[in-house]
Amino acid sequence: MVCGEPWLQQTGRVVAGLLVVVASVTTGCLATVEPHPAVHLEVAGSTSMQPLLEELATAYTDRYDYVTIDIEARGTRLGMEALQDGKADVAMVSRDLESEEEERLEVFVIAHDAIAILVNSQNPVDSLTSGQLGDIFSGNIVAWSEVGGEEADIEVLSREDGSGTRQAFEGLAMQGQRVTLTAMVIPGSSAVGDFVADNPATIGYASAAGVPLGARAVRIDGSVPDLQALTQGDYPLIRPFILATMESAGEDVQSFLDFVLSPAGQVIVGRRYGRAR
């Protein structure tokens, strides 16, 4: 018998065992990782909320490349209908919800927005009282000269029925009155600003974020619709931006909502809107 053979045999068995372990670990490290299943979300509703939701959706899908989000902005009412019909996962709502709506939906306030009263940049009127504003949009004041402007008839612009911005504006500014029937109806928040910029005698209302060149926001009761006024609550025409879902919304929808309300999502909100958190 060769001296030391039992030791060599034992060592051989240990080495062989270690090779098996190493092979097993190596095989596990090289195992294929299954990709996350693709996720697609449909968001529909308020045209005023579209720019903000596009920013939030881009930030979210940059983090999670297996997610795609389509945003269809055709107004609050149509967004709510799409949600209830199962054609949308999330509705964008730019007004307060009614009690019966809150009872059957999951509601998330994600931001606060100021409704700006827009006039053409050439218009010398830079301030209105709440009373003057209501009288202009109800048709009781019909000339710019009645509020310190030039001798010209006021051309009132309004949004279409079903617009969350219109419902919010009428609730905040009209004291229960309806906008004058002579108002020109303009579909879409950005379209209102563009029309005002091209027509010197017009006045309209739209989200304060993204006022186009050629238009400007007037003061209401001495307050301008800026971020400071939103934060302090000084401006009289502030409304919520809401994302609504059905109670049966799944984990993928909730994950997106959690991001929107997270510190990272609220930083995006706070660039142009009042933060919800």
Q: What pLDDT does residue 247 have? A: 87
The answer to whether 68 and 39 have CB atoms below 8 angstroms apart is yes
What is d(CA 219, CA 129) in angstroms, rounded to the nearest whole number? 8
Going from the C-alpha of 61 to that of each of 132, 145, 153, 256, the distances in angstroms are: 45, 51, 48, 9
Q: What pLDDT does residue 57 have? A: 98
pTM for this entry: 0.84
Q: What pLDDT does residue 176 have? A: 76
Phi, psi of 42 (to 5 degrees): -110, 125
Interior/surface letters 177-187, b for 16+ CB within 10 angstroms, e for the rest: eebeeebeebe
Q: Which of 193, 156, 192, 194 is nearest to 177 (CA)?
A: 156
Calculate the average pLDDT of the chain: 89
In tens, the pLDDT along 143-152 reads: 999 999 999 9
In tens, the pLDDT along 225-251 reads: 999 988 888 899 999 999 999 988 899
Q: Which two tokens stand for residue 90?
A: 């999330």
pLDDT at 261 over 50: yes
- The residue-averaged pLDDT of 107-136 equals 97
Q: Strand, helix or coil at 66?
A: coil
In tens, the pLDDT along 166-217 reads: 999 999 999 878 899 999 999 988 999 999 999 999 999 999 998 999 999 9
- How far does the chain reach from its first CA to its final CA, in angstroms? 82
Cα Rg, the chain, nearest whole Å: 29
Q: Which two tokens stand for residue 28?
A: 């596990």
Write down all domains in the chain, each with its CATH number in brackets: 39-112+240-275 (3.40.190.10), 114-238 (3.40.190.10)
- Cβ-based neighbour number of residue 23 at 10 Å: 10
In tens, the pLDDT along 18-70 reads: 444 444 444 455 557 788 899 999 999 999 999 999 999 999 999 999 999 99
The answer to whether 269 and 242 have CB atoms below 8 angstroms apart is no
